Each structure stands twice: as structure tokens, then as C-alpha cells.
Amino acid sequence: MAIYRWKGIKGDKFLNQKIEALNKDEAAFKLKKKQIIITYLEKIEGEEIGTDEPFKKRALFTSKVPVKEIMEFTKKFSTMMRAGLTVIETLELLKNQIEHDRFKAIMETIYSDVEAGTPIATSFGKHKKVFDSIYTNMIKAGEVSGKLDFFLAKLVTSIEKTQGIRSRIKSALFYPAILFTVAVGVITVMLIYVVPVFVKMYGSVGGALPLPTQIVMNVSGFIRNPLGGGAFFAGIVGLVVIFRMLVKKNLKLRRWVHRQIFRIPVMGDMAHKSTLSKLAMVQGNLTSAGVPVLETLDITSTSTNNVVIKESLVEIKRGVTSGESLSALFEKEELFPPTYSAMVAVGEKTGNMEDMLNAIAFYYEEEFDTSVDRMTSMLEPLMIVFLGVTIGFIIVAMYMPIFQMGRLMG
């Protein structure tokens, strides 16, 4: 048994007492049964019995919480709050509905913290790998303003739009990726199993072979040789791993890579537009929550992994600190197009920055959709042409000696 110090409110009285219980959950249950609103609950002596803390600690490290789980939780949270339930009642209902082990353990921890009197935003903020700074700041804004359901609804919209962008990118790349995989698979099978048959046949005939035939045979021999093809592919994998490590550790290299991403034809434009849409959406949501401009820029920078964008936002923050207008600062940064800074300038003049940032997000979301369509329409025929030309070249190259012998015999 353990003894807990608790503070709480019952009726119009504030109480500060001790309670004996098997564990923290039982202590909280006993106090709730007495209709006490708990503001503080901590163990002061003894040992807890029957607690599932080991399970919770183990579950916290089992797997990453899927975004789908977070989105479903936020939707239900928003709906229940709008229906008039208290935060404690809502969290209690939601934590019992979660099936994902790690997420369930996290929500049980959050529920215990909130029940013990910890502010909601602080309780969520302890789990930064699941609930980022944007999420916790929106919760904080809702908690302070008393409009938690409103800001939870905004979070749902934000998560849905972000997931929508990701799913559209995946959909756009899915068909070309399938075609490319099939092409590589077919070419590999031909070079490993089909070409060697022709090599044996032409070896017994003798004579000089056409250049394309010799090229295909040499490539086939290289790939089939463990010290050739095997070492080559192992080397490629090694170089990719080393390059990724260097990018992670070297800021200058990472900055260069992240800048080049936006310069890739079509795909770079798509990445740029999706990033601008997300930044404007996050900034708009934080502005509507009443978060100060400097803090908004700090939090917005955490919504992207691109170093160049982060550094641009840092420069903009410095400019705001020195008294420059937000639109003029966005205009100085090359990664923010004139349209972006012009719409921010309109928001500054009209005093309706929230709506203008949402308009920017919508505008670049549409631009992103156009880029996705352009990429899809370009990549699909390119993959088909690549597949046809490569396989066609191998087939023609391997039959060229037969055609040549036919002409000589004729």
C-alpha cells in the first residue's frame, strides 16, 4: 500500500489531505467517488501495488504512433468536447477506446497527469514525439480561451490537409514506381537468365559480334559475377548510406541538399508548393489562436525539416524583432514567392492576417495539386518509354547476329 498527498475542491472547500491506496489510479478513483475535483495527487510514501506502470513504460517504446491514430483521437476529442463533456470525462472515454499499445500508454499517462491537476497542454507537451509543438500550442490556446473544441477542430483540419498532401504525393508516385520496379525486374531477369543462353549459342558459332550484342553480353556477365555486379550494387548501397550520414552530420551539405530539392524539375516545384501551403496553414492556425508573431514563426519552423526554410524563418524572426514588416521580410527571402509576400502585405493592411494566411494555404494547395497532375502526366509515359526502349534494345541486340547470319546466307 502507498500513501498519497492530494489537494482538491469539494463544493466550496479547498482540501489538502492524505489518502491510502494500492496505486495512483485507485487513489484517484476513491477521491472521484467522493465527488472531489483533484488538483494535485502524488505518492509520499509506501509502494504501489497492481500498477501497470511496467507495461506503460514498455509500451512507450514499442512502436511509432501512426498519424491516423492521432487524427482519429483528435476528431473524437473535438466532438466530445463540443457535446459538452469535461476534459477528464473525454480523456477517460478515449483512452479506453485506443487499441495501439504505445498510444494507449501515452494517453493513460496524460489522463493521470490531467486528473492530478496538470494543465492539459503541459500534459500533452510531455510527449513531443507524438504531439508536436503545433499540437500542444493549439491545445494551450484552446485551454486558455475556453474554446478547446474550436482549436481541436482546427487541428483536425490541419492534420487532414497534411495527410492529404502526403497521400496525393504517394498516389502520384505509385504508378511510375510500379512501372520502374517492373522494368528493373524484367531487365534483371533477362540479363541473368535469357542473355546467357544467347552467349552460349554465339560462343559455339564464333566470329565477331555486333557492338550492341557485345555490350549487352558484357553487362550480363558483369551483373552475374558476384565480384562485379554484387560489388557494384553493394557499393551503391554503401555510398547512399554514407551520403545520408554526411548529410545528417554536416550542416553545409544538408543546406545544399535541401536547397537542391526545390530545384528538381517538376518534383521540386511540387515539394516547394506543398511546403508553402503547410507553412501558411500552420501560421494561420497559430495566429487565430492568438499566439504572438515571434512565437508563431518559431513554432512554424518546426513544421518542416528543410534547413533552408528553417533558416529563412529565423531571418524573418530577426527582422520582426528589429521592427520590419512581415511582408517585407518574406519578400527578401527567395524561397517565398512574390505572391506569398503580397498576400501577407494585404493581411497586414486589412488587419485580417488569419484569413489571408488561410487564403495563401488554399492557393498553394491548389498549385500543389496542379504540380502533382503535371508530374503524373509526365512520369507515366516516361516510365513506359524507358521500359519499352530498354527491353527492346536488349531483344534486338541479342537477335542482331542471327539477322546478320541470315543476310550472309542470303
Query: Half-sphere exposure of residue 191, counting CA atoms within 13 Å on the CB side?
Result: 22
Contact between 212 and 393 under an 8 Å Cβ cutoff? The reply is yes
Q: Give the pLDDT confidence of 164-187 residue by residue, as tens digits.
A: 888 887 887 787 788 888 888 888
Domain boundaries, the chain: 2-49, 54-131
Burial of 139 per CB tally in 10 Å (0-12, 13-18, 19+):
buried
Strand-strand pairing, 2-10 and 37-46: antiparallel
Buried-exposed string 263-290: b where 16+ CB fall within 10 A, e elsewhere:
eeeebebbbbbbbbbbbbbbbbbbbbbe
In CATH terms, 2-49 corresponds, of 3.30.450, 3.10.20, 3.30.70, 1.10.287, to: 3.10.20
Identify the CA nearest to 110 among candidates 100, 95, 99.
95
Q: How many residues does the chain have?
A: 410
Share of the chain above pLDDT 70, in %: 93
pLDDT of amino acid 162: 81
Burial of 75 per CB tally in 10 Å (0-12, 13-18, 19+):
middle
pLDDT of amino acid 121: 87
pLDDT of amino acid 232: 84
Q: Looking at the predicted structure, is the pLDDT value of residue 333 above 60?
A: yes
Q: Looking at the predicted structure, is the pLDDT value of residue 68 above 80?
A: yes
Q: Give the pLDDT confidence of 321-331 residue by residue, as tens digits.
A: 888 888 899 98
Mean pLDDT of 202-207: 65
Burial of 300 per CB tally in 10 Å (0-12, 13-18, 19+):
buried
Q: Which amino acid is at 352?
A: N
Which of 60-69, 150-159, 331-340 is least confident?
60-69
Q: Grid cell 555486333 — which residue?
A: 210
Beta bridge partners of residue 6, listed in sequence order: 17, 41
Contact between 106 and 75 under an 8 Å Cβ cutoff? The reply is no
pLDDT of amino acid 27: 79
Q: Looking at the predicted structure, is the pLDDT value of residue 49 above 60?
A: no
